[in-house]
Every structure is written in C-alpha cells, then in structure tokens.
Structure 1
C-alpha cells in the first residue's frame, strides 16, 4: 500500500502544486500582493472536504455520472481561468498595473478549484481506509511521501521561474500555463468519455513502453501536459484545439499590447 499511496497522492498533488507555483512566481514577478494565495488554499481545502462528504449524492446525480461531469466542469473552468490569467499577465507586463484585482481574483479561483479537484480525490482516498487500521499507517506514510515529492517539484518550478532572467520569465510561464491548460481539457475529455458524453474510441498509440503513466516521470508529465499513454482521437483533437486557442490568444494579446505601447509617429 505504501507505493500505491505514493503514486496516487503524487498524481493529485503535482497538478495543483505546479499550477500554484507558476501563479505564485508570476505574482512575485509582477510585484503583486499574494494574499489570494492563502485564501485560495483555504477555499480549496474547505471545498474538497465538502465535496468528499457529499460524494454519494454527487455520484448519483445525472444518472450516476455526476462525479465525472462535476470534475470535467471543474477542469474546463480552470482552463477558462488560465486563458484569462495568461492574457492579463501579458497585459500587466506590457502596460503596467492593468486590471490587477481581476487577475488576482482569477488566480484565486483557479488555484481554489485545482485544490478542490485534487484535494477531494485525496480526501476520498484516505477516508476509504479510516476503518482499516492495519492498512492505514502504510497509506498515510505513502500519502506523506507522495505529497512531499509533489510539493518539492512545485517548489522547484517556483524557484526555476524566479531564477530566470526577466526577459524569459513571462514567456516560460506562459508556455507552462499553456501546457497545463491543455492537460486540463484533456482530462475533461477523458471524464466526459467515461460519462458517455463523448464517444469512446480505440487509442491512436500506446507510449507506455517509453514512459509508463504510473512512473514518477509519467506523473510529472501528467501534471504538466496531461500525459496519456493511450490517447484517443477525440482526446488528441481536444488537446490540440485547447492549446491552439491559448497560443492564439497569447499571440494576439502580445501584438495588441505592443501596438498600444508603440510610439505614435
């Protein structure tokens, strides 16, 4: 149970920790207050406990696929918030303080929803062993190890962004946010396939021989780009479409901001 717990908790913690580290680093980069950080954690933890406590009712909704639909909705909501955040990051960097309350509010909601989504899975998993005292110590030890690894990777990305030359920081953060956003929509597509809201299809390829999904590298890729060893055509198209929308939006924002700041002849 120790290794299983490490992998499960690592998978859940990594995604939230990665997103949190990127947004926190960008707040520091733009000299913004980070009070949203603590509020988002509190909201996310409270929401995850509420989610876990009402799991039966949620799961039974919509003819038994309520949990899949709610999780997919959370992922799509985070994706939309990341579109807004990335656009405002570029605007703030090029125009100075621009719609800062909106940017901080979007960061708060994105992290809170990510913590709610991943935290609820952790809460449900741990609660399943509360009446199994023989297994609980190993499960808790594995959970602590997995969480420690996940937060360590998040800290690594935070200090990586903070240590970059300033001219590369925003670009790197936008690339990372684009990859994370694409992963969110890919996971949403997978959940909608499980709920029979999208068609199930045979996989396009199987890359598990190269990188196993349950390996540490696989979990890191899952958190960063939504890595799936056996993606279907629907999942692939959703991922490409969502990344393309993000890239086009960032390109347009950069162009619009540069034109606005260019000197008038």
Structure 2
C-alpha cells in the first residue's frame, strides 16, 4: 500500500506541478495566484467527485467520459491562449488539469482512508509523493528559469505544446472507450528503449505524455497537434518574459 500510494501520488500530482511551473514562467504567475488557483482546483475536484454518480448517468452512462474529454480540450485551448500571457487562460488550464487528475486521486484516497490497515501507509505514501512532486517542481522551475534567461521563452512554449498535446492522447483514450473513435490497432513498441513505468518514463509521461506503446493514430494526433500549437503560438505573437515571477 505504501508503494502504491507513493506511485499514485506521483502519477496524479506530477502533471499538475509541471503545468503550474510552465505557466508560472510563461505567463507569469505569482505564488499567491498559484495558491488561489490551487485552492479553486481542489474545490472543483471535490465537486467533480461528489457529482460523479449523477454525471455518470448522463449521455447513456457516458457522462464522466464526456466531461473528462471536455476538460482535455479545455486544457489544450487554455494552454495555447496562456501563451499570450493571459492569466485567466492560465488559471483555466491549471484548474481543469487539477480537476482531471485530482478527482481520480481523491477517489483513491477516500476508498482506503477508513481502513485501519491501510490508513497509515496511505498517509505516509501520500506525504512522500507530495514531497517528491514539490521537490521536482522546484528543481524544474530553476532549470527552466535559467533556460528562459539564456534562450528566451520559446523553448518553454514548445515544452508547453507537448504537455498540452499529451492531454489530447487522454481524449483519444476516452473517446475510444465510449466508441466515439476507432483508434487503430497498430501499435508501436518502445519498451525496449524506455519502459513507461520506470522513473524516467513516469517523468516523461507527466512532462510530455510519453507512452511506451502508442497507437499510430495517437502518434499522428500528437505530432500534428503539437505542430499546430507551436504554429498558432507564433501567430499569436507571444510576448517575451523578461523576468519570471515566482513571488507575490
């Protein structure tokens, strides 16, 4: 249970932390703003969990999948708009990401919280996972901040494009589950190069949506969407961030 809680914490929290770091440097966002968005995102996740039973009954019992698909699209579009340093777009992207990921995380926590045998390792694993994600976020922030000072904000926009496009892969999986899309059965196998469940694999999955066995459909969608994101970001004439803001 300890290892499971640790891995669950990392899998669900790391994508949120990474997006928060990227947006805080591109937009930029202060610590106070990030804290406010984090509180709102947590509350939205709680609302989503509470309404899950009702939402799941909608659209022929496909309501949850449709809502999650909508969140994926919102994240992609909001991340693109945040390249114009629009704080409301950045807030929407971050809150939608928290709702998408933390809702699963909260369901997991609630499911095992009341058991005496699992409560202690659950708390310990969660605390370790949160600590690892925060530490990774701090290191990533300073790394990307140095990149911005040397090369400008464009490398971060490319990274944000990959990160946002990864949400479209989640969209594809959900659409396939509810029979909206027929994803090709032809898969690539990169497990000999990098296993998805390895330490680096988990980081790359949270950072750019790495999959060890992607379908060809997913690969084409990923490449095309990332190129479109970067092209539109250039058309929108992204402002250059002179000094990243990390304080209030």
Residue pair 2:24, 2:30 contacting (<8 A) in 1 also? no
- Whether 1:202 and 2:207 are equivalent positions in the alignment is no
Unaligned runs of 5+ in 1: 90-102, 259-265
The equivalent position to 1:168 in structure 2, one of 129, 144, 151, is: 151
RMSD: 2.1
CA–CA distance in structure 2, aligned partners of residues 194 and 227 of structure 1: 20
The equivalent position to 1:129 in structure 2, one of 109, 112, 128, is: 112
Residue pair 2:195, 2:201 contacting (<8 A) in 1 also? yes
1:119-153 Cα distance to aligned partner (Å, 9 max, x none): 11110110111232211211222222222222222
Normalised TM-score (structure 2)? 0.88
Tell me which structure has the larger Cα radius of gyration.
1
**1:22 matched residue in structure 2:** 22
Aligned-pair CA distance for 1:111: 1.0
CA–CA distance in structure 2, aligned partners of residues 165 and 48 of structure 1: 32
- Whether 1:42 and 2:25 are equivalent positions in the alignment is no
Aligned-pair CA distance for 1:20: 0.2
Unaligned runs of 5+ in 2: 241-248
Residue pair 1:203, 1:230 contacting (<8 A) in 2 also? no
- Whether 1:75 and 2:58 are equivalent positions in the alignment is no
The equivalent position to 2:136 in structure 1, one of 153, 156, 177, is: 153
**1:60 matched residue in structure 2:** 57
Normalised TM-score (structure 1)? 0.83
**1:2 matched residue in structure 2:** 2
Number of residue equivalences: 240
Aligned-pair CA distance for 1:43: 1.0
- Whether 1:84 and 2:81 are equivalent positions in the alignment is yes
Residue pair 1:27, 1:34 contacting (<8 A) in 2 also? no
Task: Name the CA shift for 1:161/1:53 in 2 (closer, same or farther; >3 Å).
Answer: same
